[in-house]
């Protein structure tokens, strides 16, 4: 499993822990749903600025994605 | 300080803790020195794959960049 896949799985797990749908995470983060879906499938080489948007939407620190 | 600047400062701090020059970090990570310099100055929106290269070169977990 590469780093993009690992990251995607963490996003999915953390999103579900918050009881959020992909649609809700998209809305809160300002990203679109297909992009969230692609991230969770490990298909995107996510950048710092996108990580920050996801972390803010999930109300947690970026480091949680790497724990 | 934005997320790119915070990340850059952490890279610089962690590199120095390892007693490594930018040149050495560049060599170990497979990135070039001007790119390392731009990252440390907070000028790059670093991606997952670049973070992984930096973390491997510094022999640490990616999450350390966010602590």
Domains observed in chain A = 3-59 (1.10.260.40)
Taking only the tens place, the pLDDT of each residue in A38-56 is 999 999 999 999 999 999 9
> Which of A48, A53, A63, A67 has the highest number of chain B CBs within 10 A, making it the mutation to test binding with B?
A48
Question: Nearest Cα to A51, choosing from B30, B46, B23, B28?
Answer: B46
Rounded Cα gap, residues A20 and B58, in angstroms: 35
Q: Name every chain A residue with its beta carbon within 8 A of the beta carbon of B67.
A: 63
Q: What integer pLDDT is reported at residue B29 of this predicted model?
A: 98
Which of B3, B52, B62 shows the shortest C-beta gap to A49?
Answer: B3
Determine whether the interchain pair B48/A52 forms a contact, defined as Cβ–Cβ distance below 8 Å: no
Q: What integer pLDDT is reported at residue B50 of this predicted model?
A: 98
Determine whether the interchain pair A66/B67 forms a contact, defined as Cβ–Cβ distance below 8 Å: no
The answer to whether the CB of A53 falls within 8 A of the CB of A39 is no
Determine whether the interchain pair B3/A45 forms a contact, defined as Cβ–Cβ distance below 8 Å: no
Q: Name every chain A residue with its beta carbon within 8 A of the beta carbon of B47.
A: 45-48
**Ranges of H-type helices in A1-67:** 3-17, 22-29, 33-40, 48-57
Along the 67 residues of chain A, how does pLDDT read in single tens digits?
999 999 999 999 999 999 999 999 999 999 999 999 999 999 999 999 999 999 999 999 999 999 9
Taking only the tens place, the pLDDT of each residue in B14-53 is 999 999 999 999 999 999 999 999 999 999 999 999 999 9
Task: Return mean pLDDT, chain A.
Answer: 98
> Which residues fall within 8 angstroms of residue B54, CB to CB, at 6 or more apart?
B11, B25, B29, B31, B39, B46, B65
Q: What integer pLDDT is reported at residue A6 of this predicted model?
A: 98
Q: Percent of chain A having pLDDT more than 90?
A: 100
CA dist list (Å): B50 to A18, A27, B54: 29, 28, 6
């Amino acid at each position: 499993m590469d780093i993009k896949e690992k990251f995607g799985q963490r996003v999915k797990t953390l999103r579900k822990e918050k009881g959020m749908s992909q649609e809700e995470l998209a809305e809160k983060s300002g990203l679109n749903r297909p992009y969230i879906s692609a991230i969770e499938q490990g298909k995107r080489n996510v950048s710092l600025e996108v990580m920050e948007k996801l972390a803010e939407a999930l109300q947690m620190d970026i480091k949680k994605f790497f724990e």
